[in-house]
Amino acid sequence: DAKTTQPPSMDCAEGRAANLPCNHSTISGNEYVYWYRQIHSQGPQYIIHGLKNNETNEMASLIITEDRKSSTLILPHATLRDTAVYYCIAAFTGNQFYFGTGTSLTVIP
């Protein structure tokens, strides 16, 4: 599975969009990009995933660059409950996930 690189921490004002970047420059053509988050040692929570196209669901949007070497998770209107560690994972279908250190997002009132 490709290695991913994320900034260790970010702040975002409540109500603003939170844009969390992820670099996966060695990703292969069949590896998906997944995003999970972990709120204070709870179980990792699935957010969204994609292969090539941008994706949107009720939680977030995922923007993947055309060369697939990086992506951005967008939380459109961050709330205090979005404070968590966000993990970007590149993995083949069916493989287990390897978690990095993620980005610790703090939403500020």
Where on the chain is the footprint of other proteins (CB under 8 A)? 32, 34, 36, 38, 41-46, 49, 87, 91, 93-94, 96-101
CA dihedral 103, 60, 94, 6 (to 10 degrees): -20
**Pairing status of strand 18-23 against strand 70-75:** antiparallel
The CB-of-13 to other proteins minimum distance in angstroms stands at 27
User: Which residue, 78 or 89, has its beta carbon nearer to other proteins?
Assistant: 89
Residue with smaller CB distance to other proteins, 16 or 52? 52
Q: Comparing C-alpha atoms, which of 49, 62, 56 is closest to residue 90?
A: 49
Nearer to other proteins, 23 or 45 (CB): 45
DSSP label at 109? Answer: -
| Closest CB 60 distance from other proteins, rounded Å | 14
